[in-house]
Chains A and B, each alone.
Chain A
Amino acid sequence: MDKNKFVFLDSEQKLDKEQTRKSLTYWHDVWRRLKKNHLAIVGLVGVVIVILFATIGPMINPYKYNRQYLDYKNIPPLLTVYKLGDDIHVFLSEMNQLILVSEDGKLLETFSLAEADKDFDAKTYTYRLFDEENVEVAVVMVDFAYQTDPLKRVEGIRYSFTYEDVEYKTPIGKVWNKTFILGSDKNGRDMLARLMYGTGISLVIAFVAAVINFFIGVIYGSISGFFGKNTDIIMMRIVDIINSIPLLLYVILLMVVLKDSWFEINVLNKLFGTGGLGTIIITLISVYWVGMARLVRAQVLSLKEQEYVLAAKTMGVRNYKIISKHLIPNALGPIIVTLAMMIPTAVFTEAFLSFIGLGISAPRASLGSLANDGASFMQTYPYQLVIPAVTIAFMMLAFNFLGDGLRDALDPRLRKG
C-alpha cells in the first residue's frame, strides 16, 4: 500500500475521542421519557395551571370567597343588556332585579323597587334609580305581561322596558359580566373566587390524603411483605376484610360517625378548621390506604429475594435499614404511580360525598359542594353547575394524563399500548 496515502493527524485529533456523556440517573431517565410523552406534558401543564389557579388566583381576584354582595344574587356571566334612551344600560336578573350596568358589562347599581310600584293587574313593575342625595334620576317600567297576555305572547319575548315613554323590546346583545367574571351565586358571592377556593380545598384534601396514605401504605405493606409468615397472613387478612367492604359505603358510614363527634370537634377542627375538611381527609385515608399497602407488599415480596438484600443481610444490616434503604427506593416507581392516581380518586370521592351532602359545609366550598349547590338551580342558572363540573373534569383529565405518563416513564415494563 502506498505510504503517501496516509497523513498524520494533528495532535488534537490524535487521542481517541472519549465517548463522554453524562451518565443518566434514574430520575434523569424518567424525566427524559416523560418529556417525550406529549399527553403527559399536557397533563403536567394542566396540573400546574390548576395549582396556580388555586394558590395565586385568590390573590389576584379582588373578591373573597365568602363575601356576600346581597344586591347581586345569581348574576350570570353573560348579561343580556338593554339600552334605554341614549346612555342607560340595564340588565334584568332572573330574580327580577333591575341593575344599571356600564356599556362594557360592569355592574354599577341596582334600581329600587317599592311594593307600591308593583302593579299586579297590569303585570308591570316600576323600578326607580336614586342618586346620593336621594333624588330620582331614572324611572323604568318593566312589562311582564308578555308572558301571560294572549295578545302580547305572540311576540315571543318575556318582557319589555319603558323608559321616558319609549318601549324597548330587544336587547343590544350579550355582554360579558366584568364585575363577576363567572357570575355570582345564590348568596351573591363571586363564583370565580368560590371556584378558586373550592379547587384549593379539593387539592388540599387530595394531596394530604395521598401523602398520609403513602406513609401508612408503605409502612404497612413493607412490614407485611418483609417479615412474611404469620405477620403477613394476619396483616393481609385485615386488608382482605377491609377490601371486601364496598369502600363507598364505608366512607359514608364513617363520615356520619365522625360528624359532630368528639374527635371532630376537638382534634380535626383544630387541625384543619371547621367545615368538615379534616373529617373528609380522615375518611379518605382510613379507606384508601389498603390499595397502597397491597402494592408495596407485592413489590417487597419480589424485591426481598434479590441478591443485594441477601448481601445486606449477611453484612448484618438491620431490618428497618434494609427496608428503608434497599426495598422502598427500588419500589418507588409503582408507588409514585399509585400516588399520582390516588389524587384524582380522592378529588372524585370528595366531590361525590359533597354532592350527596356529606362533605364540606358552607361557607367553605369544594368543587363537589359547588356542583351540589349548582345542581339545585340548574334549570334557571345552568352556569352554576357547569362551571364547577368543567373544572372537575379538567382536573381529572390533567391528573389522569400525568399519571398515565408517569407510569410509562417510571416503569417502562408497565407501559400500556
Chain B
Amino acid sequence: MNRYIIKKTLFSILTLFIVVTLVFFMLRAIPGGPFTREKPLPEATRERLEEAYGLNEPLINQYFTYMGNLLTGDLGPSFRKPAYSVNELLATGIPNTAKIGFIAVIFIIFLGIPLGVISALKSNTAVDYGVMIIATVGITVPSFVIGSLFILLAQNVKWIPVGGLSTPISYVGPVVALAGYSLAFVTRLTRSSMMEVLRQDYIRTARANGLSESKVIFKHALKNSLIPVITYIGPMIAAIMTGSFVVEKIFYINGIGEYFTESIGNRDYTLVIGVTLFYAVFYIIMVLLVDIAYSVIDPRIRLSK
C-alpha cells in the first residue's frame, strides 16, 4: 500500500516536471515576446528590459535558471505586471477562484448524489423523469450560455449584481454556471450506478435477511454505488477549477482563470507557467487522492495491484 502511494507520488512529480518543461518551450515557440507591443518599444529599451529579465541568454540557460528557482518555490517576476511576482499574483487570484470552485463542488456533491439516489429509487416515475430531464438539459447547455443568460437576468433585476463577488447573491450565477454540467453528470452517474447495484445479489440477500430498507440503501447499496462517482469527482474538481475561466470572464471575477487568458495574450511567460503549474499540481493531487481513496473503499482493487 505504502509502496503504491510512493510510486504514484514519484510519478506525479515526474509528470509535473514534464509539464513545466513542455509549457516552457511551447511558450517560447509562440511568435512575439513579452516586450513586443503594437507600438514597438525603442530597441535599446527593449534590450535592456530583456537583459533585466534574463531573456537575452540562450534558451537552455534560461530554462535551467527557471527550474532552479522553481525548486525553491520561486515562480519568478511577472513580465507584464512588473511590480508583482507570480507568487503574489497567484496569491491574489486563487482565493476568488477557490471560493466559487469550492461552493460549486459542495453543491455538486450534496445535490447531485442525493438526486441521483432518489431518481434511482423511484426509477420510471414522474420524479425520476423530472430529475433526468433537468440533468439532460444541464449536460447539453454550455456553461457560457448559462452564464450569459444569468447576466441578462441580472441586468434586468435590481437585486442581483451584474458581476464580481460583492454580495452572497452574486455567487449564484458563477456557481450555477460552473456546476451545471458536472452536477448533471454526477446525478446521471449516481443514478445508473445505484440501479446497477440494486440489482446485485447481495442486496437481495440483505433484504431477505430482513434489513430495513434504509439500512439496505445506505449501508449496502450507496457505498458500493459511489465507486464510479468518486472516480469522476476527483478529476472533476480539478476540471471545475480549470473550467472557471469562462465563468470568470463572464462574471468579471478576478480569479486565476482570468490571469491565465490574459497572460497568454500578453506572453507573460512566467505567469502562464505559474498558473499552469497550479492547475497541474491541483489536478495531479486530485487524481492521486482518488487513487488512494479507491483502494480504501474497494479492497478488490488493492488486491489486484
Report A's interface with B, CB cutoff 8 A.
240-241, 244-246, 248-249, 252-254, 256-257, 259-261, 348, 351-352, 355-356, 371, 375, 378-379, 382, 385, 389, 392-393, 396-397, 400, 416-417
Q: What is the CA–CA distance of A359 and B148 in the complex, to the nearest angstrom?
A: 18
Residues of chain A within 8 A (CB-CB) of B15 are 240-241, 244-245
26 pairs across A/B with beta carbons < 8 Å?
A241-B18, A244-B12, A244-B15, A246-B239, A246-B279, A246-B283, A249-B242, A249-B280, A252-B260, A253-B27, A253-B264, A254-B26, A257-B27, A259-B30, A261-B30, A371-B148, A378-B151, A378-B152, A382-B152, A392-B141, A392-B145, A393-B145, A396-B139, A397-B136, A397-B140, A416-B195
Given contacts A248-B242, A356-B261, A417-B123, contact A400 B31 (CB under 8 A): no
Interface of A is mostly: helix
Residues of chain A within 8 A (CB-CB) of B261 are 252, 356
Q: What is the CA–CA distance of A98 and B19 in the complex, to the nearest angstrom?
A: 58
**Considering only CB atoms, which chain A residue lies closest to B148 in the complex?**
A375
Segment of B37-45, B66-74, B243-251, B293-301 in the binding face:
B243-251
Whether the Cβ atoms of B152 and A379 lie closer than 8 Å is yes
Whether the Cβ atoms of B239 and A248 lie closer than 8 Å is yes
Q: Quick one: CB contact mask for B218-246 with A, threshold 8 Å, 1 for yes?
A: 00000000000000000000110011011
B12, B145, B272 — most chain A CB neighbours (10 Å) = B145
Q: Quick one: CB contact mask for B174-215 with A, threshold 8 Å, 1 for yes?
A: 000000000000000001100110000000000000000000
B144, B155, B192, B196 — most chain A CB neighbours (10 Å) = B144
Whether the Cβ atoms of A355 and B11 lie closer than 8 Å is no
Given contacts A257-B26, A261-B29, A417-B123, contact A246 B242 (CB under 8 A): yes
Residues of chain A within 8 A (CB-CB) of B136 are 397, 400
Given contacts A240-B15, A417-B191, contact A348 B123 (CB under 8 A): no
From residue A381, how far is it (CB to closest CB) to chain B in Å? 11
Whether the Cβ atoms of A393 and B140 lie closer than 8 Å is yes
Q: What is the CA–CA distance of A253 and B267 in the complex, to the nearest angstrom?
A: 11
From residue A327, how far is it (CB to closest CB) to chain B in Å? 23
A375, A382, A397, A417 — most chain B CB neighbours (10 Å) = A417
Whether the Cβ atoms of A256 and B148 lie closer than 8 Å is no
Given contacts A261-B29, A356-B246, A416-B192, contact A245 B280 (CB under 8 A): yes
Whether the Cβ atoms of A355 and B26 lie closer than 8 Å is no
Residues of chain A within 8 A (CB-CB) of B11 are 240
Q: Please classify how large the interface on chain B is, using the bins under 10, 10 to 19, 20 to 34, 35 or more.
A: 35 or more
B96 beta carbon closer than 8 Å to chain A: no
Residues of chain A within 8 A (CB-CB) of B250 are 375
Q: What is the CA–CA distance of A240 and B288 in the complex, to the nearest angstrom?
A: 12
| 4 smallest beta-carbon distances between A and B, as pairs | A396-B140, A416-B192, A389-B145, A246-B242
Residues of chain B within 8 A (CB-CB) of A416 are 192, 195-196
From residue B273, how far is it (CB to closest CB) to chain A in Å? 10
Contacts between chains A and B (CB distance < 8 A), count: 111
Residues of chain B within 8 A (CB-CB) of A260 are 31
**Considering only CB atoms, which chain B residue lies closest to A389 in the complex?**
B145
**Considering only CB atoms, which chain A residue lies closest to B193 in the complex?**
A416
Residues of chain A within 8 A (CB-CB) of B108 are none
New A-B pairs, 16, CB < 8 Å, besides A245-B19, A253-B26: A241-B18, A246-B239, A246-B283, A249-B242, A253-B23, A259-B30, A351-B144, A352-B142, A352-B246, A355-B142, A375-B144, A375-B250, A392-B145, A396-B139, A400-B136, A416-B192
**Considering only CB atoms, which chain A residue lies closest to B128 in the complex?**
A417
Given contacts A253-B26, A253-B264, contact A352 B144 (CB under 8 A): yes
**Considering only CB atoms, which chain B residue lies closest to A248 in the complex?**
B242
**Considering only CB atoms, which chain A residue lies closest to B261 in the complex?**
A356
**Considering only CB atoms, which chain A residue lies closest to B18 in the complex?**
A241
Residues of chain A within 8 A (CB-CB) of B151 are 378
Residues of chain A within 8 A (CB-CB) of B113 are none
Residues of chain B within 8 A (CB-CB) of A371 are 142, 144-145, 148
Say which residue of B149, B195, B280 sits within 8 Å of A417 (CB atoms): B195
Residues of chain B within 8 A (CB-CB) of A246 are 238-239, 242, 279-280, 283
Say which residue of A240, A254, A261, A352 sits within 8 Å of B31 (CB atoms): A261
**Considering only CB atoms, which chain A residue lies closest to B141 in the complex?**
A393
Residues of chain B within 8 A (CB-CB) of A254 are 26
B287 beta carbon closer than 8 Å to chain A: yes
Residues of chain B within 8 A (CB-CB) of A351 are 142, 144
Say which residue of B242, B272, B280 sits within 8 Å of A244 (CB atoms): B280
B170 beta carbon closer than 8 Å to chain A: no
Q: What is the CA–CA distance of A378 and B142 in the complex, to the nearest angstrom?
A: 16
Q: What is the CA–CA distance of A396 and B181 in the complex, to the nearest angstrom?
A: 12
Residues of chain B within 8 A (CB-CB) of A257 are 26-27, 29-30
Q: What is the CA–CA distance of A356 and B248 in the complex, to the nearest angstrom?
A: 11
Q: What is the CA–CA distance of A249 and B273 in the complex, to the nearest angstrom?
A: 11
B284 beta carbon closer than 8 Å to chain A: yes
From residue B187, how far is it (CB to closest CB) to chain A in Å? 12
From residue B157, how far is it (CB to closest CB) to chain A in Å? 13
Could you tell me which residues of chain B, from 258 to 276, have a CB within 8 Å of some CB in chain A? 260-261, 264, 272, 276
**Considering only CB atoms, which chain A residue lies closest to B192 in the complex?**
A416
A241, A244, A245, A392 — most chain B CB neighbours (10 Å) = A244
From residue B178, how far is it (CB to closest CB) to chain A in Å? 13
Q: What is the CA–CA distance of A378 and B238 in the complex, to the nearest angstrom?
A: 31
Residues of chain A within 8 A (CB-CB) of B264 are 252-253, 256
Residues of chain A within 8 A (CB-CB) of B18 are 241
Whether the Cβ atoms of A244 and B283 lie closer than 8 Å is yes
From residue A276, how far is it (CB to closest CB) to chain B in Å? 15
Q: What is the CA–CA distance of A256 and B32 in the complex, to the nearest angstrom?
A: 11
**Considering only CB atoms, which chain A residue lies closest to B152 in the complex?**
A378
**Considering only CB atoms, which chain A residue lies closest to B280 in the complex?**
A245
